[in-house]
């Protein structure tokens, strides 16, 4: 497709993004062009926006950010076989090779030759994004753009919670970021016995309750969540999902789980720390499952199922919905605002 489009782009190696006019991407034969209905700001985008140490090692501007999105197919490459004009799609943020040993054992999302939208290739903070057929996930026409745009991070929550069953189990979630809030909803929709969430921001804990958490703990209010959960469960929780990544939170996660229970590690800690494996894992026979995002594509199938069942409504987590032009406001809401933000959406096309 010919013409120019608006994009929120990292143009220089410094903080912030620029709203620029650039040509609409030319698609390769194996790609489709997606007109973006909605795109969401991710925690990783915050690092890129701030241009911190992580961003400096990861990004090579100029680059259009954004990897969580949904939209309509407006152009189809000659070699694309299974998608048509006018279909609604979202995408996994991962562009995988499909050929390396890691892909071949079914772990494409950690492919040895992984590329990510808005990290290595131009992403979705733009009116149009070029997407290889192998990264697409079809949406029913009835799925609203806002829900389609957050299915990728929701998939992270689904993988973290459901990597092993939670039916009839007590589930504790550490963290109150958007994926942790999604995780509360996933655990509730999947038949958990009781869902606890431990966080720091009162407004987000309210969202956790709306998502289905039975009990929330605010660690800024002089409450010991470990003791409270041990008191209530007597033996500790069956399943603990660590999504905060802070040292104290990781240590508390292992103090909260029962002997023989499961801890999923999902949050990333800013730096290494000392940790007692003997007591925390080995002697108490705790199962640890590291989760680095969604599996392609069985997690997406679970996301579809949870949404279609009506058991899971992710929308309470979406707190802001802005035109693309107001991207700066969106980022500032997350970084310097009251932190009472869940997912912040951007709409590049007013659709």
Judged by the rule CB under 5 A, the positions of this chain that interact with Zn ion are: 42, 97, 100, 103, 111, 113
- Which lies closer to Zn ion via its Cβ, residue 113 or residue 309? 113
- Which lies closer to Zn ion via its Cβ, residue 102 or residue 340? 102
- Which lies closer to Zn ion via its Cβ, residue 65 or residue 80? 65
Q: Which of 293, 347, 266 is nearest to 94 (CA)?
A: 293
Closest distance of CB 101 from Zn ion, Å: 8
Rounded alpha-carbon distances, angstroms, from residue 76 to 85, 92, 129, 289? 7, 18, 12, 39
- Which lies closer to Zn ion via its Cβ, residue 70 or residue 239? 70
- Which lies closer to Zn ion via its Cβ, residue 115 or residue 193? 115
Closest distance of CB 279 from Zn ion, Å: 34
Closest distance of CB 111 from Zn ion, Å: 3
- Which lies closer to Zn ion via its Cβ, residue 124 or residue 170? 124
Q: Which of 194, 162, 174 is nearest to 303 (CA)?
A: 162
Closest distance of CB 45 from Zn ion, Å: 7
Bridge partners of 9, per DSSP, are 18, 64
Closest distance of CB 221 from Zn ion, Å: 30
Closest distance of CB 69 from Zn ion, Å: 11
Q: Rounded to an integer, what distance in angstroms lies between the CA atom of residue 249 and that of residue 198?
A: 9
Closest distance of CB 35 from Zn ion, Å: 21
- Which lies closer to Zn ion via its Cβ, residue 178 or residue 316? 178
């Amino acid at each position: 497709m010919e013409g120019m489009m608006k994009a929120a782009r990292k143009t220089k190696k410094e903080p912030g993004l620029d709203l620029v006019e650039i040509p609409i991407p030319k698609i390769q034969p194996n790609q489709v062009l997606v007109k973006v209905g909605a795109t969401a700001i991710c925690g990783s985008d915050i690092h890129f926006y701030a241009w911190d140490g992580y961003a400096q090692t990861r990004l090579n501007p100029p680059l259009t950010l954004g990897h969580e999105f949904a939209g309509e197919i407006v152009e189809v490459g000659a070699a694309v076989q299974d998608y048509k004009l006018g279909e609604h799609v979202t995408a996994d943020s991962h562009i995988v090779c499909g050929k390396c040993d890691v892909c071949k054992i079914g772990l494409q999302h950690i492919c040895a030759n992984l590329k990510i939208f808005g990290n290595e290739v131009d992403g979705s903070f733009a009116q149009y994004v070029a997407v290889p057929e192998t990264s697409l996930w079809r949406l029913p026409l009835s799925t609203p753009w806002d829900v389609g745009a957050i299915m990728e991070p929701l998939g992270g929550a689904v993988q973290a919670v459901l990597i092993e069953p939670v039916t009839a189990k007590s589930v504790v979630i550490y963290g109150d970021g958007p994926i942790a809030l999604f995780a509360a909803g996933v655990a509730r929709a999947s038949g958990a016995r009781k869902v606890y969430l431990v966080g720091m921001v009162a407004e987000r804990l309210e969202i956790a309750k709306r998502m289905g958490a039975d009990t929330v703990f605010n660690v800024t209010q002089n409450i010991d969540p470990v003791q409270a959960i041990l008191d209530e469960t007597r033996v500790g929780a069956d399943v603990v999902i660590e999504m905060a990544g802070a040292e104290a939170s990781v240590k508390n996660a292992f103090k909260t789980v029962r002997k023989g229970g499961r801890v999923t590690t999902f949050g990333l800690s800013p730096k290494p720390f000392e940790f007692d494996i003997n007591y925390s894992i080995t002697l108490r026979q705790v199962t640890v499952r590291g989760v680095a995002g969604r599996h392609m594509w069985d997690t997406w199938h679970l996301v579809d199922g949870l949404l279609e069942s009506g058991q899971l409504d992710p929308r309470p987590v979406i707190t802001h919905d802005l035109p693309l032009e107001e991207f700066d406001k969106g980022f500032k809401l997350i970084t310097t605002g009251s932190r009472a933000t869940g997912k912040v959406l951007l709409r590049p096309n007013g659709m």
